[in-house]
Structures are given as structure tokens and as C-alpha cells.
Structure 1
Amino acid sequence: MPGFFSWISGLFSRNAPTPQPASETRLFNPSHSSPDGEQSQQAELVAQLEDHLFCWLLDVQPASLRKNPEKAEQHLAELERRLVENTMEELPRRPGSLPQLMRALANESTERKELSRIILSDPSLTDQLLKVANSPYFRLGDHLIESVDQAVFVLGVDGIRKVVAAALMRPMMAARNSREALFAQRSWRWGLTCAWASELVAQIHRQDSSGHFIVGLLPALAYMTIRREMDRICRADNRGHEPEPALLRIALARYQWATCQLLANVWGLPPKYHAWLMAAERPTPRKSHRALTKGLLIGTREMLRHARQRNLATEDLARIVYLEPEQLERVRGTLNRALEDGGPAKA
């Protein structure tokens, strides 16, 4: 894949924008189409939201994220090298059943029986799929889904595509040890909430909603990947010491989108998924319909609100997502009902 990795390398070349420091927002990148004063206020709001997110994910106070970590640039340079050269040890491998499933789900003529057969050929996927299908975010009504065939019938192709995506990614987000348990749990809940929000916004804009759901999961998986890779780097260099929260915050903010693109490429996801990721990372002025960015903003705010963490006022959220008031309230209402029912915590 030399072409793709040349592109990744170009992100960090001297002709590319210098990676932004931790004080600048990187997850939420509003387009520069508003008047300067309003643009500055929007940038401040999204930076605040990102700060609140990292404090929650890393379980620290804001002051901890403002420290200067020892050997920070050395460790970040090593992470960048691994990313550019595709030598990251913690990059999740493509699930074996993914290509066949993607083809089957993309083909409108695929019969329910064939789709069930593909899923059942992977026992671990079957188990995960039933767990996810019965979670509050996906379950329709009060009846328990007891079989793959029933899940395919009840949820439909679009619904099962989302459940399959969540079921494939869920094991990759499971904590391996007590050190990463809280981060893994919170990242998964946040990722699933953002994916759901991205899908809902895509429906409003009449875009590919299930595709946006899949892409909406990638930032959380990228966070888990970066955290594990930085843990490897720091433990090898610091005699077993974990990376400091401030270092993790910089690494996550600086390299999240490149890691998302790498995941999408390694897994062979469709080109339009790469385009959505690029649009979120480098928004174009006057493009106010970016479902992924809006989904990340709304999902993050509602997840933090539900977790009783610092977030944004509703009126401030409305200023940065460019949705009609009734549209925003519809998305928020759907998310909050799922969160109150247990939402991603049970998925």
C-alpha cells in the first residue's frame, strides 16, 4: 500500500501543516466560514468540549493535562515514525470475516439466509452480535433477540450492518488489564454514542446513515490504539512506567485522524469513508453538512452530560453544529433515551 503510506508520510512532511500542540483542538475542526469573531468563539467552545472529553477519558483534572511530560517529543516522534512506517504493534488486525460481510451487506440482492450463514461461520462474531443486538442502542421493543437469523430479520440490512460493525470492534476495545480498564470502558461508551449521533445526523442530511455509524466508531478505536502504542513506547524507554496523562492527551489529539485513516485503509473500508474522515479533519468552508463532525460534537456533549461531567450549554452546542433547533433536539432526545436505558454501557 505504498500510495496510502506516502499520503500518511505527507501529513508529517515539511510541506504539511505542523502537528498542532495540545492546547489546540484536533478532534473538532469547525470550518472557517464564519465571521472572525464568531469563528473565534466557536473555536473556543469546541476546544473546551475537547478538554472536558480528555479529562473524562483519562480520569484526571485539567491541571494534569497542562504539564510538560518528560521526553515528550522523543516519545511522540517514535509514535509518528511507527504510524508513518506502518509498524504500530497495537494496530488492530482486520477481522477475518469483514471483507465477506462488507460485500454481502453492500449487495442489495443478498438474501437473509446467506447473511446469517456468513455471520454464523464466525462463532466469536455470533456471540458478540447477539450481545450488541440486545443492547439498548439496537434492540427494538421488549423482545429478546435469540438468534442471528432473528436479528437479521428484525433489524434489517441497515440495522444489522451497524450491529456487525459494533460487534466486530467491541472486542478490540475490551480492556486487557486493570490499567486501561476505565479508559477502555469510557472510550467505548463515547465511541458508540458518537457513532449513533453521526448516523442520526446523516439521516437528517439524507446521507449514508449506516456508513456514518461505522466511521463514527473509528475515533474511539483510534484512541485505544494510540494509548496502547504509547504504553509500549514509554514502558520500553522508562523502565516500565506508564505514559503520563499529558503525553497521552497530546498523542491522542495529534495523531487521531491519521490513525483513523490507517485503520480504514488496513481494513479495506470504502473510499467514501476516507473522504468523510478527511472532511472532519480538514473541513472545507461553507460545508455545513458534515455529519461526522456534528455527530462527534453532539455525541461527546451528551455523553459527558450523562456522565455528569463538565460539558457545554445547550445553546452553545447549537452554535457549533448548524442544525435546526428541532433537528438538534430530535438527535439529543434519541441519544438521551438510549443513555438513560443503559446505552453503550451495556453494549
Structure 2
Amino acid sequence: MPGLFNWLSKKKVPSEAESFANRHTASPRRQFISTPASWAMEKLEQHLFCWLLEASPRDFQRHQDQVGRILAELGQHIRQGKLDELPRQPMTLPMLLRALSDPDISRSEVTRIILDDPALTEHLLQVANSPYFRPSEQTIETVDQAVFVLGLQGIRSVISAAIMRPMLSARNSSEAQFAQRVWRWGLTCARAAELVARQHGKDTSAYFMVSLLPALAHITLFREVRRIHHRLHGDNTPLPPGAVTGALQQFDWTCTQILANDWNLPPRYFAHLLAAERPVPGQPQTPLYDGILIGTREVLRFANQRNLAEEDLEAAVSVSRGELGSIRQTILGMLKEGD
């Protein structure tokens, strides 16, 4: 199974015999159709990996013997369902997903559900006061205030980010930079997908959470690779960047699916993933696809990394030039304030 960017960069001709829910290993090779969006995704992939790992393309080609052994063992673990670093489903997630799905839920009920989990309350207030969500300079001090200021629609995305934040936080100094950049990338892509969905009257909170899953898959595979490398080569041998990029290219989409399955996400979340994986010819791209394209490009651009020319981005996404400009302006403001 191709990784996330390989998956997104190819317009796949679907095979109805394939099972979406159980596809945890490589699937048969299918015919691919080149598009402006697929070209843009391929261009962005290597630039993103260079930034996440603070490495050059040449670095990815080194120590291929180590890289091969690590990826072979990782593939075996995935086929056997033995990913040691796979995050467990948060205990409060089922209740929170029901709350996120209920269009008639009251503010007081949302507040009560959040306050029942002290850890979630703490993370939610941190996220709500981040530049990605805070609507003004005023500090949000209570959950009730967060629900009131952000509204039910806004608080749904904050809840999703607060659930994910602890799992994407660095455990030690060796993964600090990677984790911080993956979190910024994931949150930017999720906000971009949410904004695209809002432009077209679609399910913003579901697209936001689904768009965060690839970032969680990134940090999961990074940790799996480090664990395997440590067992094979010990602490004294530096981790080859090519092992991480190889894992992301080969297994990131697989890991995203595993997370969605293990967490028993609602059917509409799978529908969003499936619609991005199997685009209907002649139909617009999904907010998930556009969100990852826009978010990746803007994160790299803000970090002064190689990315895409303006006209290439406009040709690759399915939103209008005016809609794209509005989304980019919002994303840039968040990145500037949070730098």
C-alpha cells in the first residue's frame, strides 16, 4: 500500500473487490492517472520530509542496508498487527464522538462531558488559547467560556485537537523537533480541510479530525522505526533519515487506516477517507485532499522551505481562487501568531 502522499498523489481506478476496512497490508498495484493535484502532491512530499527531519534528499539515500532491514521488520509488524507504538483509543473518545455527531446537543451538555475528564479539560484550554483557534486576544479561562466563545461548531474541532495533542507531544529530546513540526503540519492541514469544508457547507468537525490522523500516523511510525533501529543497532548508531521517510512513504496511509479501525471511528469518517482515496472522475476533490495540499504548502512556505508556486497550487486544488485566498490568509495568520 502506498504511503499517504503516494495515495493522495494518484487518481486511483477503484477495485470493488478491495475491502477498505481491512486493508492493513499492501494492495495490488492499480492504474494511476496523472493530474495537477497528483503532480503537486509528489512535489510536496520530499520537501515535507526534508523539513520534518532537518535533512537533505541525499541524506535519505545513505545507509540503505540499515534502512532495508528496518523497513522489512516494520512491514512484518504491520502485517502481524503488532505495532508497539500504536496509540490506544482514548477512553472518552466514544462519548465525545457521539457529542461531536449530535447536531442538537446543548452547550451545557458539551461542557459537562469535557469537565468529566480533567486531562481533556487541561488540553482543551491549551488548544483553545492557541493561535489556531483563539478568536481574539482575550484568554479563555474556563470550558464554559470556550464553548460560549467558540460556539458548538468551533468547540468540536478544539475537542478533536485536544484529544490528539498528548499523543503527538514529544516524549524526549530526540523526537522533540519532529513531533513539534508534525503537530504544526497536522493542525494546519486539519484547519485547512475544515475551512474548505466550511466553504462548501460540509461536515467541518469530521474533516478536521480525519485530517489529523495522518499526523498521528507520522509520529507512530517514527517511534516504531526508532524502536526497531534501537533493537537492531543500539544507541550508538544514528537513526538513518531514510528509514523514517521510507516508513512514511510505504506505510503512512496503512497506519492511518489502522488508527481509524482501532478507534472505531463513525462510518462517515471512513466515508471521507474513502472519498479521498477513490475520487470519482469529474467530481471535485474532497476537503481532506485539498486540506492536506493547502496545509502542507503553507507550512513549508512559512518555514522558508521549497514548496509550490502560486499558480501550481491554484491549479491543484478544487476551490476557487477567491476561496483559496481566504483560506490561505487565515492559515498564514495562525502560523505567524503561533511562530
TM-score (norm 2): 0.88
Relative to structure 2, which stretch is displaced further, 138-147 or 303-312?
Answer: 138-147
Relative to structure 2, which stretch is displaced further, 309-318 or 82-91?
Answer: 82-91
Kindly state the Cα deviation for residue 6 of structure 1 after the two structures are TM-superposed: 7.8
Q: Give the alignment's Cα RMSD to 1 decimal.
A: 2.1
Question: For 1:1-347, what aligned pairs fall within 5 Å after superposition?
Answer: 7-9=22-24, 11-12=25-26, 16-17=28-29, 32=33, 39=35, 43-67=38-62, 69-240=64-235, 241-342=237-338
Kindly state the Cα deviation for residue 201 of structure 1 after the two structures are TM-superposed: 1.0
Corresponding residue SS for 1:269: coil
Cα gap change, 1:253 to 1:170, in 2 (>3 Å)? same
Kindly state the Cα deviation for residue 243 of structure 1 after the two structures are TM-superposed: 3.3
Q: Is the 8 A contact 1:57 1:186 kept in 2?
A: yes
Kindly state the Cα deviation for residue 7 of structure 1 after the two structures are TM-superposed: 2.0
Kindly state the Cα deviation for residue 321 of structure 1 after the two structures are TM-superposed: 1.1
Alpha-carbon distance between aligned partners in 2 of 1:102 and 1:44, rounded to the nearest angstrom: 35
Alpha-carbon distance between aligned partners in 2 of 1:302 and 1:137, rounded to the nearest angstrom: 14
- For residue 249 of structure 2, what is the amino acid of its counterpart? A
Corresponding residue SS for 1:116: helix
Kindly state the Cα deviation for residue 242 of structure 1 after the two structures are TM-superposed: 4.8
1:227-253 deviation digits (Å, cap 9, x = unpaired): 001111111111234531112111101
Cα gap change, 1:154 to 1:160, in 2 (>3 Å)? same
Kindly state the Cα deviation for residue 42 of structure 1 after the two structures are TM-superposed: 5.3
Alpha-carbon distance between aligned partners in 2 of 1:102 and 1:325, rounded to the nearest angstrom: 34
Corresponding residue SS for 1:286: coil
- What is the aligned-residue identity percentage? 48
Aligned residues: 320
Corresponding residue SS for 2:22: helix
Alpha-carbon distance between aligned partners in 2 of 1:68 and 1:278, rounded to the nearest angstrom: 36
Gaps of 5+ in 1: 19-30
Alpha-carbon distance between aligned partners in 2 of 1:89 and 1:197, rounded to the nearest angstrom: 31
Q: Is the 8 A contact 2:21 2:261 kept in 1?
A: no
Gaps of 5+ in 2: 1-17
Relative to structure 2, which stretch is displaced further, 284-293 or 68-77?
Answer: 68-77
Q: Is the 8 A contact 2:37 2:317 kept in 1?
A: no
Cα gap change, 1:149 to 1:7, in 2 (>3 Å)? same
Alpha-carbon distance between aligned partners in 1 of 2:23 and 2:310, rounded to the nearest angstrom: 37
Corresponding residue SS for 1:76: helix
Alpha-carbon distance between aligned partners in 2 of 1:274 and 1:67, rounded to the nearest angstrom: 37
Kindly state the Cα deviation for residue 81 of structure 1 after the two structures are TM-superposed: 2.4
Kindly state the Cα deviation for residue 4 of structure 1 after the two structures are TM-superposed: 7.9
Cα gap change, 1:208 to 1:242, in 2 (>3 Å)? farther
Alpha-carbon distance between aligned partners in 1 of 2:245 and 2:54, rounded to the nearest angstrom: 11
Corresponding residue SS for 1:61: coil
TM-score (norm 1): 0.86
Alpha-carbon distance between aligned partners in 2 of 1:66 and 1:160, rounded to the nearest angstrom: 44
- For residue 120 of structure 1, what is the amino acid of its counterpart? L
Q: Is the 8 A contact 1:222 1:259 kept in 2?
A: yes
Corresponding residue SS for 1:8: coil
